[in-house]
Amino acid sequence: MTRANTADSEPTGTRAQRKEQTRQLLLDAALELSRARGFAAVSLREVARAAGIVPTAFYRHFATVDELGLALVDEGIRELRVTLRAVRRNPVPGDAARSMDVLFAHVRTKRELFRFLFRERYGGSREVTTAIAAELRLIVRELATDLSRVPALDSWTDDDLDMTAGLFVAVVQDAIAEFIAAGGPDAHLDAYTPSEKAIVERTVRQLRLVMLGMGGWRPTRGGR
C-alpha cells in the first residue's frame, strides 16, 4: 500500500491547498512505485491510481510522467543544493564531522527522494537522467565559485577550482548513495546505525584528505 492510499492522505483545505496536496500525493506515489522497478517503468495510470485520482486528473498537475519525474529532480536537487550551501557557508572551523552531520541528518529525512536521485542518475528516463546530470554539474560550478573567493586559492585557475570542486562533490555524492543503501529497519532512529556511522566517518576522512591535498597543490600555469 502506498502512502497515497492511506485514509489521512485525502486532500483538505482550500482549492489551492487541495491541488498542492494532490500534486504531492502524485510525487510520493511515483517515488514509491519507482523504488522497485525504476522510474522509466512507472505508468501514468499506476501513479494516478496510487494517488487516489482518476488518470485524466493527472493532467491537471503534469503534462507527462517525465514532467513529474523532472519535478522530483527539481525538488531533490534543490534539497541537496540548499543543504550543501548551508554546509559550505556555515562551517564549524576545522570540524568537517559537524558539517557532514548536518548533511546526512538531512538526507535521512528525505531518504526516498535522494534514493530516487541517485538511482535514476545513471539510467531510466533520458529526460530525468539528463536533468540530474545538468543539476549536479551546476552544483560543482557553484562550489568552484565559492572556492574562488578563498584568499589562499586566489592564484588557482578555473580548471584547478573546477577539478577540486568536482572531487568534493564526487566524494559527497558517493557517500550519500551508500548512506541511502545502508538504511535498514533502524534507519528511522535519531542516532546513526553502525553502518551509517561508518559511512559518515569515512566521508569525513576522505574530505580531510582532499583538503590536505589542496594545501600541497601547485596551481597549473596560466590565468583564469
> In the chain, what are the domain boundaries?
1-62, 66-224
* pLDDT for 105: 84
In this structure, are residues 57 and 29 in contact, taking their beta carbons and an 8 Å threshold? no
Alpha carbon distances (Å) from 213 to 6, 210, 217? 51, 5, 6
Tell me the C-alpha distance between 222 and 204, whole Å. 32
CA distances from 171 to 3, 31, 213 (A): 32, 25, 14
3-state secondary structure of 125: coil
CATH H-level superfamily of 66-224: Tetracycline Repressor, domain 2 (1.10.357.10)
In a structure prediction context, what are the per-residue pLDDT tens digits for the chain, which is 224 residues long? 444 444 444 556 788 888 899 999 999 999 999 988 889 899 999 999 999 999 999 999 999 999 999 999 988 888 777 767 766 654 444 566 777 888 888 888 888 888 888 888 887 788 899 999 998 899 899 889 988 888 888 889 999 999 999 998 899 889 999 998 886 555 555 678 889 889 999 998 998 888 888 888 888 765 44
Same fold, 1-62 and 66-224: no
Q: Is 52 helix (H, G, I), strand (E, B) or coil?
A: coil
- The CATH architecture one would assign to domain 1-62 is Orthogonal Bundle (1.10)
208, three cell numbers: 580531510
pLDDT at residue 188 in the model? 58
pLDDT of residue 115: 87
Q: What are phi and psi of 58, to 5 degrees?
A: -55, -40
The H-or-E segment that residue 113 falls in is: helix 111-120
Is the pTM for the entire model greater than 0.85? no
SS (H, E, C) 142-195: HHHHHHHCCHHHCCCCHHHHHHHHHHHHHHHHHHHHHHHHCCCCCCCCCCCCHH
Eight-state DSSP code of residue 11? -
* Residue-level pLDDT at 82: 73
